[in-house]
Amino acid sequence: MNKTTFIETLQSAFSGKTWAIVTPAIYETLYMVFFTTILTAFFGMLLGIFLVVTDRDGIYPSPRFNALLGSVVNGFRSLPSMIVIILTLPLSRMIIGISYGPKACIIALAVTCVPMFGRLVESSILEVSKGKIEAARSVGAKNRDIVLKVLLPEALPSLIRSFTIAVIAIVSTTALAGTLGAGGLGDVAVRFGYSRFKTDVLLAAVLVMIVLVQAVQFAGNGLSKFVLKKRHLI
Amino acid sequence: MTPVKNTVPSPHRGFIRISGLKKTFQPRDKRFDVLKGVDLEIDRGDVFGVVGFSGAGKSTLIRCINRLEEPDEGDISIGETEITRLSKRELDQYRQKIGIIFQQFNLLDARTVAGNVSFPLEVAGEKKEKTAKRVMEILDLVDLSDKADFYPGQLSGGQKQRVGIARALANNPDILLSDEATSALDPQTTLSVLDLLKSINEKLKLTIILITHELNVIRYICKNMAVLEDGRIVEKGPVRRVFEDPKSETAKLFLKIDAGFANFGWSDGEGI
């Protein structure tokens, strides 16, 4: 490799020249993460609720539908993210007309992340005790009331933690998608850091990702704790 | 072998009538006949206790009354309403007339005390102002007015059960079911919760059905009782009669154990 020392590489990683490359990539990454997160939150939540509600022991049992839904989720989950992204890029072409760039990748990313978040939502909601559901039933609550007024509010602290995990997974999957033409930090890290041996750029990109993940985790933990404290559960 | 039926014939036509109630659980290849044909009549305004050892079917029995558990066979009617014939929608409506309290309280942690009590009114589609007024009324009744904005996480077990009672009473029910409501409480708290139930029974003319494995609870607040053994009622009648002249083996055993702890003497603990 180059004859530069580690210190020099480190210095270069913080130089303006490096950041001129990395900064636009940060925006691309944030853009993709943001919109993927919105899609994942919405559809993952729906998916998770359906998985719980239609379960054999759920409030609206529908074992066949549940088994089908579960199999589809498992199918997506059993494939590596990279394969799912490649498989779903044609879907992007169908929906928004192009199959490359950040916008196209958002849909592919959402498809990989929704099943994952759906399972996390499922397990969070399952933590709500059966007794609370029964208590709601006993005063005549309908299924809709039980979902909106019991399951989701009661599971909120756990849902926040699940969501945090999902966002972090989205960050890392976004980096992966970057190498498939989506742009962003992953793309920069691979194009410069790997293909052109520009370790300084790689280092800068990695640092940004670490900071990003830390920030998300910190915010998630804080929010979850805030809710638990408000409810005097910790 | 044959279960004792109507040891003391009830002079009134029962307000709550249960006949031939059967319930079987079939998890996988197993089969548990939990209720094997239960007949009961409970009068309006009664405080009716059901005792039985663990696994006798007490909990299943009480939960069949508001169909948290669906009976397999038999009928349950309250007044003119046949509970077992109600459609899902009608049942949701009717459940507002049957309150239930639980051993584990089952309060919503996400809601304040007032929020928990307003829950039944919200799902019944009650107006906001009316709900707020009713919530304060009920909290006053259970002596928790000053805790309206507290979360369940800030309350003691006894206070939680008072909130549970308040929630169960929010819709002005005719019947209150108590599923081991005091079993998780210490003796002093148990007493205060039982006093509350007693006063509610008198003030609101509420019919209370409670299940328990503690004879003291029965002795303290029940007027009539039944003894449940292995899915069948083996004895029923006025509490005093059953206590003074138990006919069934289970009732005798219950009383023997109850008296027994006092008669067994002291453990040899002096050496410690």
Q: What is the mean pLDDT of residues A168-183?
A: 89
Number of domains in chain A: 1
pLDDT bucket at B270, cuts 50 / 70 / 90: low
The reply to whether A139 touches chain B by the CB within 8 Å rule is yes
Give me the residue spans of the domains in chain B.
13-89+175-186+194-258, 98-172
pLDDT tens digits for range B176-192: 999 999 999 999 999 99
For A138, the closest of B95, B104, B110 (CB atoms) is B95
For B110, the closest of A129, A141, A153 (CB atoms) is A153
What per-residue confidence (pLDDT) applies to B8? 44
CATH number of the domain that residue A219 is part of: 1.10.3720.10
Report the predicted TM-score, pTM, of the whole model to 2 decimal places.
Answer: 0.90
* Contact check, Cβ <8 Å, B123/A131: no
The reply to whether A156 touches chain B by the CB within 8 Å rule is yes
Under DSSP, the state recorded for B10 is: -
* Contact check, Cβ <8 Å, A135/B124: no
Say if residue A3's pLDDT is above 80: no
Q: What percent of chain A has pLDDT over 70?
A: 99
Nearest CA in chain A to B170: A139
ipTM, interface predicted TM-score of the complex? 0.89
* Contact check, Cβ <8 Å, B92/A138: no
Q: What is the mean pLDDT of residues B239-264?
A: 86
* Within-domain flag for A62: yes
Q: Which of B240, B185, B177 is nearest to B214 (CA)?
A: B185
Domain of residue A151 covers: 6-230
Q: At what angle do helices A199-230 and A152-177 cross, to 10 degrees?
A: 180
* Contact check, Cβ <8 Å, B123/A140: yes
Q: Strand, coil or helix: what is B35?
A: strand
Say if residue B3's pLDDT is above 50: no
Neighboring chain A residues of B100 at a CB cutoff of 8 Å: 135, 138
Nearest CA in chain A to B101: A135
Amino acid residing at A170: I
* Contact check, Cβ <8 Å, B122/A230: no
* Within-domain flag for A226: yes
Half-sphere exposure of residue B15: CA atoms within 13 angstroms, side-chain side: 14
Helix (H) or strand (E) holding A84: helix A81-96
pLDDT tens digits for range B60-112: 999 999 999 999 999 999 998 999 999 999 999 899 999 999 999 999 999 99
Instruction: State whether the Cα torsion A171-A176-A181-A183 is positive or negative.
Output: positive
* Within-domain flag for A120: yes
Q: Looking at the domain B13-89+175-186+194-258, which fold is it? A: Rossmann fold (3.40.50)
Q: How far apart are CA A151 and CA A51, in angstroms?
A: 13
Say if residue A97's pLDDT is above 90: no
What per-residue confidence (pLDDT) applies to B4? 45
pLDDT tens digits for range B39-50: 999 999 999 999
* Within-domain flag for A135: yes
Spell out a b/e string for A191-212, using b for 16 or more CB atoms within 10 Å of the CB, else e.
bbbeeeebbbbbbbbeebbeeb
Nearest CA in chain B to A146: B123
Q: Lowest-pLDDT range, B2-6, B14-18, B217-221, B222-226? A: B2-6
Averaged confidence pLDDT in chain A: 92
* Within-domain flag for A1: no
What per-residue confidence (pLDDT) applies to B13? 57
Nearest CA in chain A to B69: A134
Q: How far apart are CA A146 and CA A151, in angstroms?
A: 6
pLDDT bucket at B1, cuts 50 / 70 / 90: very low
Contacts of A51 (CB under 8 A, 6+ apart): A66, A69, A70, A73, A118, A119, A121, A122
Q: Lowest-pLDDT range, A73-77, A84-88, A142-146, A212-216? A: A84-88
Neighboring chain B residues of A129 at a CB cutoff of 8 Å: 104, 106
Q: Are B134 and B170 in contact (CB under 8 A)?
A: yes
Say if residue A156's pLDDT is above 70: yes
B interface mutation test: which of A57, A59, A125, A139 has the most B CBs within 10 A?
A139
What per-residue confidence (pLDDT) applies to B7? 43
Q: How far apart are CA B105 and CA B117, in angstroms?
A: 13
What per-residue confidence (pLDDT) applies to A178? 85
* Contact check, Cβ <8 Å, A149/B123: yes
Which carries the bigger pLDDT value, residue A10 or residue A58?
Answer: A58
pLDDT bucket at B9, cuts 50 / 70 / 90: very low
Say if residue B242's pLDDT is above 60: yes
Q: How far apart are CA B241 and CA B227, in angstroms?
A: 13
pLDDT tens digits for range A158-167: 999 999 999 9
pLDDT tens digits for range B195-214: 999 999 999 999 999 999 88
Q: Are B50 and B70 in contact (CB under 8 A)?
A: no
* Within-domain flag for A69: yes
